[in-house]
Amino acid sequence: MKVRNKAWIMIILLVMVFAVIGSFNKDPEHKPGDTSPVLQETDPQDDGTADEAQEEIDEQSLEESIPIEESRPRVLAFWVSWDEESKEQLDILENANKLLGQDIGFVGIHATFFDTVDKEEVMAYIKEKGYSFEIIMDEEGKKAEDYYVGSFPTTIFLNEKGEVVGAYTALIQEDKILQELEEILQNLTN
Protein backbone atom coordinates (compact mmCIF):
# COMPACT_ATOMS: atom_id res chain seq x y z
CA MET A 1 0.00 0.00 0.00
CA LYS A 2 2.84 2.41 0.83
CA VAL A 3 4.55 1.67 -2.50
CA ARG A 4 1.34 2.45 -4.35
CA ASN A 5 0.98 5.80 -2.52
CA LYS A 6 4.58 6.70 -3.32
CA ALA A 7 4.00 5.90 -6.98
CA TRP A 8 0.99 8.22 -7.10
CA ILE A 9 2.91 10.99 -5.37
CA MET A 10 5.74 10.63 -7.92
CA ILE A 11 3.28 10.78 -10.81
CA ILE A 12 1.63 13.89 -9.42
CA LEU A 13 5.00 15.56 -8.88
CA LEU A 14 6.09 14.76 -12.44
CA VAL A 15 2.86 16.18 -13.84
CA MET A 16 3.37 19.36 -11.82
CA VAL A 17 6.98 19.71 -12.99
CA PHE A 18 5.97 19.32 -16.64
CA ALA A 19 3.14 21.82 -16.17
CA VAL A 20 5.55 24.40 -14.75
CA ILE A 21 8.11 23.78 -17.50
CA GLY A 22 5.41 23.97 -20.13
CA SER A 23 4.18 27.31 -18.85
CA PHE A 24 7.63 28.86 -19.49
CA ASN A 25 7.46 27.88 -23.19
CA LYS A 26 4.10 29.48 -23.95
CA ASP A 27 3.88 31.57 -27.11
CA PRO A 28 2.49 34.99 -26.11
CA GLU A 29 0.54 35.18 -29.38
CA HIS A 30 -1.06 31.75 -28.85
CA LYS A 31 -4.74 32.04 -28.04
CA PRO A 32 -6.60 29.47 -25.95
CA GLY A 33 -8.51 27.03 -28.10
CA ASP A 34 -6.22 27.60 -31.10
CA THR A 35 -5.15 24.07 -31.94
CA SER A 36 -3.36 24.67 -35.21
CA PRO A 37 -0.66 27.18 -36.01
CA VAL A 38 -1.18 29.80 -38.66
CA LEU A 39 0.70 28.87 -41.79
CA GLN A 40 2.37 31.47 -43.93
CA GLU A 41 2.61 31.60 -47.67
CA THR A 42 6.07 31.70 -49.21
CA ASP A 43 7.04 34.38 -51.67
CA PRO A 44 6.03 33.12 -55.11
CA GLN A 45 8.95 35.00 -56.65
CA ASP A 46 11.96 32.75 -56.16
CA ASP A 47 15.48 33.63 -57.19
CA GLY A 48 15.68 30.63 -59.58
CA THR A 49 13.51 28.83 -62.07
CA ALA A 50 11.56 25.67 -61.31
CA ASP A 51 14.01 23.58 -63.34
CA GLU A 52 16.99 24.93 -61.42
CA ALA A 53 15.21 24.26 -58.12
CA GLN A 54 14.77 20.60 -59.08
CA GLU A 55 18.47 20.21 -59.91
CA GLU A 56 19.99 22.06 -56.98
CA ILE A 57 19.00 22.84 -53.41
CA ASP A 58 18.36 26.52 -53.02
CA GLU A 59 19.22 27.64 -49.49
CA GLN A 60 16.54 30.32 -49.58
CA SER A 61 13.87 27.66 -50.11
CA LEU A 62 15.04 25.95 -46.92
CA GLU A 63 13.74 28.65 -44.62
CA GLU A 64 11.43 28.18 -41.66
CA SER A 65 8.11 28.99 -43.34
CA ILE A 66 5.69 26.27 -44.38
CA PRO A 67 4.06 27.13 -47.67
CA ILE A 68 0.34 26.72 -47.90
CA GLU A 69 -1.90 27.10 -50.89
CA GLU A 70 -5.62 27.70 -50.83
CA SER A 71 -7.64 24.48 -50.73
CA ARG A 72 -4.61 22.22 -50.68
CA PRO A 73 -4.01 19.77 -47.82
CA ARG A 74 -0.44 19.22 -46.55
CA VAL A 75 1.64 16.43 -45.07
CA LEU A 76 4.42 17.62 -42.75
CA ALA A 77 7.18 15.14 -41.94
CA PHE A 78 9.54 16.10 -39.11
CA TRP A 79 12.86 14.24 -39.32
CA VAL A 80 16.48 14.07 -38.16
CA SER A 81 19.46 12.49 -39.90
CA TRP A 82 20.45 10.14 -37.07
CA ASP A 83 17.12 8.31 -37.09
CA GLU A 84 16.81 5.69 -39.84
CA GLU A 85 13.00 5.61 -39.58
CA SER A 86 12.94 9.37 -40.19
CA LYS A 87 14.91 8.97 -43.38
CA GLU A 88 12.76 6.01 -44.42
CA GLN A 89 9.66 8.16 -43.84
CA LEU A 90 11.01 10.71 -46.32
CA ASP A 91 11.50 7.95 -48.91
CA ILE A 92 7.90 6.80 -48.38
CA LEU A 93 6.67 10.39 -48.71
CA GLU A 94 8.61 10.70 -51.96
CA ASN A 95 6.57 7.81 -53.37
CA ALA A 96 3.31 9.32 -52.09
CA ASN A 97 4.29 12.69 -53.56
CA LYS A 98 4.74 11.07 -56.97
CA LEU A 99 1.19 9.70 -56.71
CA LEU A 100 -0.63 12.64 -55.12
CA GLY A 101 1.69 15.64 -55.41
CA GLN A 102 -0.75 17.49 -57.64
CA ASP A 103 -3.46 17.36 -54.92
CA ILE A 104 -1.46 17.24 -51.68
CA GLY A 105 1.51 19.32 -50.60
CA PHE A 106 4.35 17.37 -49.00
CA VAL A 107 6.88 19.17 -46.80
CA GLY A 108 9.85 17.58 -45.03
CA ILE A 109 10.88 19.55 -41.96
CA HIS A 110 14.41 18.87 -40.77
CA ALA A 111 14.75 19.38 -37.01
CA THR A 112 18.12 21.10 -37.38
CA PHE A 113 18.05 22.22 -33.74
CA PHE A 114 17.88 18.59 -32.63
CA ASP A 115 20.25 16.94 -35.09
CA THR A 116 23.84 15.88 -34.55
CA VAL A 117 25.13 16.97 -37.96
CA ASP A 118 25.51 20.44 -39.39
CA LYS A 119 23.27 22.05 -41.97
CA GLU A 120 25.73 21.49 -44.83
CA GLU A 121 25.74 17.72 -44.26
CA VAL A 122 21.94 17.69 -44.19
CA MET A 123 21.77 19.68 -47.41
CA ALA A 124 24.21 17.28 -49.06
CA TYR A 125 22.01 14.35 -48.00
CA ILE A 126 18.88 16.04 -49.39
CA LYS A 127 20.63 16.78 -52.67
CA GLU A 128 21.89 13.18 -52.90
CA LYS A 129 18.38 11.79 -52.39
CA GLY A 130 16.85 14.24 -54.87
CA TYR A 131 13.50 14.60 -53.12
CA SER A 132 10.82 16.15 -55.31
CA PHE A 133 8.95 17.74 -52.39
CA GLU A 134 10.02 20.74 -50.37
CA ILE A 135 12.41 20.37 -47.43
CA ILE A 136 12.73 23.18 -44.91
CA MET A 137 15.09 23.63 -41.97
CA ASP A 138 13.65 24.18 -38.50
CA GLU A 139 16.84 25.62 -37.09
CA GLU A 140 15.40 27.07 -33.89
CA GLY A 141 12.73 24.43 -33.26
CA LYS A 142 9.82 26.82 -33.79
CA LYS A 143 7.86 24.53 -36.15
CA ALA A 144 8.45 21.50 -33.92
CA GLU A 145 7.18 23.54 -30.97
CA ASP A 146 4.16 24.78 -32.95
CA TYR A 147 3.13 21.20 -33.70
CA TYR A 148 4.22 19.71 -30.34
CA VAL A 149 6.81 17.43 -31.95
CA GLY A 150 8.83 15.48 -29.41
CA SER A 151 9.95 12.38 -31.31
CA PHE A 152 11.09 11.48 -34.79
CA PRO A 153 9.73 10.75 -37.25
CA THR A 154 6.53 12.70 -36.66
CA THR A 155 4.12 13.05 -39.57
CA ILE A 156 1.27 15.54 -39.43
CA PHE A 157 -1.69 15.75 -41.79
CA LEU A 158 -3.26 19.17 -42.40
CA ASN A 159 -6.57 19.77 -44.15
CA GLU A 160 -7.08 22.47 -46.78
CA LYS A 161 -7.56 25.07 -44.02
CA GLY A 162 -4.22 24.26 -42.39
CA GLU A 163 -5.87 22.48 -39.44
CA VAL A 164 -4.28 19.35 -38.00
CA VAL A 165 -6.46 16.35 -38.85
CA GLY A 166 -4.01 13.56 -38.01
CA ALA A 167 -0.58 12.97 -36.49
CA TYR A 168 1.73 9.98 -36.08
CA THR A 169 4.88 9.73 -33.99
CA ALA A 170 6.28 6.65 -35.67
CA LEU A 171 7.11 5.42 -39.15
CA ILE A 172 3.96 5.25 -41.30
CA GLN A 173 3.85 2.91 -44.25
CA GLU A 174 2.75 4.16 -47.64
CA ASP A 175 -0.63 2.38 -47.58
CA LYS A 176 -1.59 4.11 -44.30
CA ILE A 177 -0.47 7.50 -45.65
CA LEU A 178 -2.53 7.00 -48.79
CA GLN A 179 -5.54 5.95 -46.68
CA GLU A 180 -5.26 9.11 -44.54
CA LEU A 181 -4.90 11.29 -47.62
CA GLU A 182 -7.86 9.63 -49.33
CA GLU A 183 -10.05 10.57 -46.36
CA ILE A 184 -8.79 14.16 -46.44
CA LEU A 185 -9.45 14.42 -50.19
CA GLN A 186 -12.92 12.93 -49.79
CA ASN A 187 -13.75 15.59 -47.21
CA LEU A 188 -12.73 18.23 -49.76
CA THR A 189 -15.28 17.00 -52.27
CA ASN A 190 -18.11 16.73 -49.71
Among the listed ranges 19-23, 53-57, 104-108, which one has the minimum average pLDDT value?
53-57
The predicted model scores a pTM of 0.65
Helix and strand element counts for the chain (H, E): 6, 5
Question: For residue 74, with 0-12 CB atoms within 10 Å meaning exposed, 13-18 middle and 19 or more buried, which class applies?
Answer: buried
Cα–Cα distance list, 79 to 6, 144, 185 (Å): 38, 10, 25
Give the closest residue to 134 by CA, choosing from 38, 37, 46. 46
From 23-27, 69-73, 139-143, 146-150, the region with the lowest mean pLDDT: 23-27
**Distance, C-alpha 19 to centroid of its chain:** 24
DSSP three-state, residue 4: helix
Mean pLDDT of the chain: 76
- Which domains occur in the chain, in start order? 60-190 (3.40.30.10)
- Element at 165 (helix H, strand E): strand 164-168
Report CA-CA distances (Å) from 23 to 18, 28, 118: 8, 11, 30
Strand ranges (E), 11-160: 74-79, 105-110, 134-137, 154-158
Q: How does residue 82 score in pLDDT terms, banded at 50, 70 and 90?
A: very high
> What's the pLDDT band for 103 if we cut at 50, 70, 90?
very high
Residue 64: pLDDT band (50, 70, 90) is: very low
